[in-house]
Amino acid sequence: MTLNIEIIKSSIGAIIHDVDLNTVDENTTQQIQQALLDHHVIFFRNQQLAPQAQAELARGFGSLHIHPIFPTVENVPEIIVLDSWKQDLRDNELWHTDVTFSKNPPLGCVLQAIKIPPVGGDTLWSSGVAAFAGLDQSLQQKLKGLTATHDIRQSFPIERFAHNDVERKKLEETFKRNPPVVHPVVRTHPVTGQPILFVSEGFTTRINELEESESAELLQYLFAHATHEQFHLRWQWQEGDVAIWDNRCTQHKALFDYGDAHRIMHRATINGDAPFYQAAS
């Protein structure tokens, strides 16, 4: 069977129709993986994946990551629960690439909409491939030689995520286990070879080779450029939707515009490799 793919935008995004993710065979899985490489984020409507089935789907892409902070589904630790009534999810309003505070950030994620507000709660994704291609050539060359620091504390400040001494101690221990890491500002996609702009306001704190003021100015420019509307899409969720994105070449943000309405998402995170930059031959 050939996938029925509807392209959302030339730079990013596609909807795959007529697939039940509970019953995908090897051939369909390979086509889904290729579609992900081609479009960076892909969507499926009207799915009903139990947590274990969602984890198994994600394992088709690689081993799964256990998040150091977010709660998980009971007996399925690979599935984190993002529940607006139980957590402060405002950190997700920052554009970010998931878990870049790790030496080996995730390959990708599988996100399922469990409960969606009647209005609001959309998610935006942006393409780092398109963003890099959209820079002028001189800036492209400058960025290729630079590295940046990524820090978990940027998105998980103690004053918002620790409400008592026990939570504070737990969060401080998490910070110790996850010290700041350094990644290239431009990384090479390990499969496609494409150059990717790899900084985000969620975790990137400075460009190491520049003076602090120049670093701050350049990062603010890159954050704005990388998330310009020409490089991003906006997804309006329905319950049962599943999104799969390539975390190596995208960043995203959830909109916290639904007040006290209830929003629950389940996410599986696929382990990845250390980012690198390799000049095109």
* pLDDT tens for each residue of 202-240: 999 999 999 999 999 999 999 999 999 999 999 999 999
281 in a domain, yes or no? Answer: no
275 in a domain, yes or no? Answer: no
> What per-residue confidence (pLDDT) applies to 76?
93
280 in a domain, yes or no? Answer: no
Q: Residue 92's pLDDT band (boundaries 50, 70, 90)?
A: low
Token reading at 183: 């990644």
CATH at 155 = 3.60.130.10
For residue 195, the cross-strand partners are: 188
74 in a domain, yes or no? Answer: yes
Concatenated DSSP letters of 238-268: -TT-EEEEETTSEEEEE---STT---EEEEE
- Residues 82-87: what's their mean pLDDT? 84
Please report, as a single letter, which amino acid is at residue 256: F
Q: Where does residue 142 rank: exposed (0-12), middle (13-18), buried (19+ CB within 10 A)?
A: middle
Paired sense of beta strands 250-254 and 195-197, if any: unpaired
**Number of domains into which the chain is organized:** 1
Catalytic: which of 39, 40, 65, 96?
96
Whether 98 is catalytic is: yes
Element (H, E) at 188: strand 186-188
Catalytic: which of 39, 187, 189, 252?
252
Catalytic: which of 40, 65, 98, 225?
98
- Which residues form the domain of 125? 4-270
Q: Residue 174's pLDDT band (boundaries 50, 70, 90)?
A: confident
Q: How much is the pTM?
A: 0.93
276 in a domain, yes or no? Answer: no
Q: Residue 159's pLDDT band (boundaries 50, 70, 90)?
A: low
